[in-house]
Amino acid sequence: MFVTAALAQEADLNDEAELLRRLAVAEPAEAINLDRQLQALWDKSGSPAMDLLLERGKDAMEVGEFRIAIEHFTALTDHAPDFAEGWFMRASAYFQADLLGPAMADLERALMLNPNNYNALLGLGAVLEMVDRPKLAYRAYVRAQAIHPHHEDISTAAERLRLHVEGDAL
């Protein structure tokens, strides 16, 4: 019986649709765990070499070496063009390096490959805000919030723009 329960839990960890379904209706405490599971799932490229490039890029980002991170993520996207997380991470590095055009292009590619990546939608909203497109930014935030209702950064961003976009109700 224990083995069956463990296998069912492992299956849940690899079932993106199920994790997303549960995330949309989760309580805040459960949402944290589901978010971690989704991130772990999205970080799996299927190749140890590509996973190493992802890890090296993330390590470079953590210490503020955005140009080096971009190099690692570029190698990753060159060798694994269907791996959405590579595009998202390179977009994040571009954003941190104040390269908004390339960040936007990579976010579009990441979302084409994984339209449920709420962090990519958050990033898209942030770029759109920076280029003074608040209505489009708000739409990105609302879409991200529908996927992950308890993501604090998404909720804060959506609320910040809500009155600007929707106006005051009488």
pLDDT along the chain (170 residues), means of 10: 41 82 95 96 96 98 98 98 98 97 98 98 97 96 97 95 73
pLDDT the model gives residue 41: 96
**H-type alpha helices, 26-133:** 28-42, 48-62, 66-79, 84-96, 100-113, 118-130
Q: Which two tokens stand for residue 52?
A: 């190493």
Provide the whole-model pTM. 0.88
- Specify the pLDDT at position 7: 34
Answer whether 22's CB lies under 8 Å from 149's CB.
no
* Main-chain phi, psi angles of 143, to 5 degrees: -65, -40
Domain ranges of the chain: 47-109, 116-170
- Would you state the pLDDT for residue 169? 53
Q: Which fold has domain 47-109?
A: 1.25.40
Question: What is the length of the chain?
Answer: 170
The predicted structure's pLDDT at residue 3? 40
54's tokens: 């992802």
Say how far apart CA 90 and CA 67 lie, in whole Å. 10
Using an 8 Å Cβ cutoff, are 95 and 73 in contact?
Answer: no
